[in-house]
Protein backbone atom coordinates (compact mmCIF):
# COMPACT_ATOMS: atom_id res chain seq x y z
CA UNK A 1 0.00 0.00 0.00
CA UNK A 2 1.42 3.40 -0.99
CA UNK A 3 1.51 6.38 1.34
CA UNK A 4 -1.10 8.11 -0.81
CA UNK A 5 -3.48 5.16 -0.79
CA UNK A 6 -3.08 4.81 2.97
CA UNK A 7 -3.79 8.54 3.45
CA UNK A 8 -6.81 8.42 1.13
CA UNK A 9 -8.24 5.41 2.98
CA UNK A 10 -7.79 7.15 6.32
CA UNK A 11 -9.31 10.44 5.15
CA UNK A 12 -12.27 8.63 3.55
CA UNK A 13 -13.35 7.61 7.06
CA UNK A 14 -13.61 11.22 8.26
CA UNK A 15 -17.27 12.17 8.69
CA UNK A 16 -16.86 15.62 7.06
CA UNK A 17 -15.38 14.19 3.85
CA UNK A 18 -16.84 12.24 0.98
CA UNK A 19 -15.20 10.74 -2.07
CA UNK A 20 -15.59 12.84 -5.20
CA UNK A 21 -14.24 13.09 -8.72
CA UNK A 22 -11.61 15.85 -8.83
CA UNK A 23 -12.66 18.80 -10.98
CA UNK A 24 -9.33 18.52 -12.79
CA UNK A 25 -10.29 14.98 -13.79
CA UNK A 26 -7.07 13.37 -12.57
CA UNK A 27 -6.84 10.89 -9.71
CA UNK A 28 -9.16 10.61 -6.73
CA UNK A 29 -10.63 13.36 -4.60
CA UNK A 30 -12.39 14.16 -1.37
CA UNK A 31 -14.87 16.98 -0.79
CA UNK A 32 -16.64 18.59 2.13
CA UNK A 33 -19.99 20.32 2.08
CA UNK A 34 -18.14 23.55 1.24
CA UNK A 35 -16.34 22.10 -1.78
CA UNK A 36 -13.27 20.24 -2.91
CA UNK A 37 -10.57 19.63 -0.32
CA UNK A 38 -7.99 17.20 -1.65
CA UNK A 39 -6.94 15.57 -4.91
CA UNK A 40 -4.67 12.52 -4.95
CA UNK A 41 -2.93 12.76 -8.31
CA UNK A 42 -0.34 10.02 -7.97
CA UNK A 43 1.28 7.72 -5.44
CA UNK A 44 3.18 10.74 -4.13
CA UNK A 45 1.51 14.02 -5.10
CA UNK A 46 -1.55 15.43 -3.34
CA UNK A 47 -3.15 18.82 -3.95
CA UNK A 48 -4.93 20.38 -0.97
CA UNK A 49 -7.32 23.35 -1.09
CA UNK A 50 -6.31 25.50 1.89
CA UNK A 51 -7.81 28.83 0.72
CA UNK A 52 -5.79 31.96 0.08
CA UNK A 53 -6.26 33.31 3.61
CA UNK A 54 -5.11 30.06 5.25
CA UNK A 55 -2.01 29.93 3.05
CA UNK A 56 -1.19 33.50 4.05
CA UNK A 57 -1.92 32.81 7.71
CA UNK A 58 0.39 29.78 7.85
CA UNK A 59 2.97 30.93 5.30
CA UNK A 60 5.94 30.68 7.68
CA UNK A 61 5.02 27.13 8.69
CA UNK A 62 4.39 26.12 5.09
CA UNK A 63 7.75 27.59 4.05
CA UNK A 64 9.55 25.41 6.58
CA UNK A 65 7.94 22.15 5.45
CA UNK A 66 10.07 20.60 2.72
CA UNK A 67 7.20 18.40 1.52
CA UNK A 68 5.02 21.40 0.58
CA UNK A 69 5.03 23.27 -2.71
CA UNK A 70 3.01 26.41 -3.32
CA UNK A 71 2.11 27.96 -6.64
CA UNK A 72 1.82 31.74 -6.19
CA UNK A 73 -1.76 32.85 -6.66
CA UNK A 74 -3.18 29.37 -6.12
CA UNK A 75 -5.60 28.46 -3.36
CA UNK A 76 -4.04 24.96 -3.32
CA UNK A 77 -0.79 23.54 -1.96
CA UNK A 78 0.89 20.40 -3.23
CA UNK A 79 2.21 17.90 -0.72
CA UNK A 80 4.79 15.30 -1.73
CA UNK A 81 4.33 12.09 0.25
CA UNK A 82 7.82 10.64 0.65
CA UNK A 83 7.63 9.53 4.30
CA UNK A 84 5.08 8.64 6.97
CA UNK A 85 5.64 12.06 8.52
CA UNK A 86 4.37 13.62 5.27
CA UNK A 87 1.11 11.69 5.71
CA UNK A 88 0.85 13.07 9.25
CA UNK A 89 1.41 16.56 7.85
CA UNK A 90 -1.31 15.97 5.24
CA UNK A 91 -3.78 14.87 7.94
CA UNK A 92 -3.08 18.01 9.93
CA UNK A 93 -3.43 20.24 6.87
CA UNK A 94 -6.70 18.60 5.80
CA UNK A 95 -8.06 19.50 9.22
CA UNK A 96 -6.83 23.07 8.71
CA UNK A 97 -8.40 23.11 5.23
CA UNK A 98 -11.78 22.02 6.59
CA UNK A 99 -11.68 24.79 9.18
CA UNK A 100 -10.40 27.33 6.65
CA UNK A 101 -13.23 26.68 4.23
CA UNK A 102 -15.67 27.57 6.99
CA UNK A 103 -13.78 30.38 8.73
CA UNK A 104 -11.88 31.95 5.82
CA UNK A 105 -13.72 31.21 2.58
CA UNK A 106 -12.13 32.66 -0.50
CA UNK A 107 -13.63 35.99 -1.55
CA UNK A 108 -16.89 35.80 -3.46
CA UNK A 109 -16.49 36.43 -7.14
CA UNK A 110 -12.89 35.24 -7.24
CA UNK A 111 -12.65 32.64 -9.99
CA UNK A 112 -11.85 29.12 -8.83
CA UNK A 113 -8.51 28.33 -10.41
CA UNK A 114 -8.51 24.61 -9.74
CA UNK A 115 -5.81 22.49 -8.21
CA UNK A 116 -2.11 22.90 -8.83
CA UNK A 117 -2.07 19.92 -11.19
CA UNK A 118 -3.90 22.10 -13.74
CA UNK A 119 -1.31 24.84 -13.40
CA UNK A 120 1.41 22.95 -15.22
CA UNK A 121 4.74 21.59 -14.14
CA UNK A 122 6.01 24.90 -12.84
CA UNK A 123 5.65 24.13 -9.14
CA UNK A 124 7.75 26.46 -7.10
CA UNK A 125 8.69 26.49 -3.48
CA UNK A 126 7.18 29.42 -1.62
CA UNK A 127 9.67 32.21 -1.18
CA UNK A 128 9.58 35.13 1.24
CA UNK A 129 7.76 38.17 -0.09
CA UNK A 130 5.29 36.56 -2.50
CA UNK A 131 2.42 36.84 -0.07
* CATH code (residue 8): 3.90.1150
124 within a domain of the structure (yes/no): no
59 within a domain of the structure (yes/no): yes
131 within a domain of the structure (yes/no): no
**Whole-number pLDDT of residue 127:** 32
18 within a domain of the structure (yes/no): yes
Stated pTM of the model: 0.82
25 within a domain of the structure (yes/no): yes
28 within a domain of the structure (yes/no): yes
- What does the pLDDT look like over 37-51, one tens digit per residue? 999 998 999 999 988
What is the total count of domains within the chain? 1
Residue 93 in this model has a pLDDT that exceeds 70 = yes
Domain of residue 11: give its range.
3-119
Mean pLDDT (the chain, rounded): 82
**Whole-number pLDDT of residue 124:** 36
Find the Cα–Cα–Cα–Cα dihedral 55, 38, 79, 89, rounded to 10°.
80
Closest CA to 17 of 38, 42, 47: 38
Helices (H), 16-120: 52-57, 59-64, 84-103
- What does the pLDDT look like over 111-123, one tens digit per residue? 455 678 655 433 3
Mean pLDDT confidence for 2-31? 92
Amino acid sequence: MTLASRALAQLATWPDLRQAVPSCGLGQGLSSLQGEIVHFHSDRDVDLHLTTRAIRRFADDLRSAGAIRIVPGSQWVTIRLDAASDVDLLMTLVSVALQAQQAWPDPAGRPEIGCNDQRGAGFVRVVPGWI
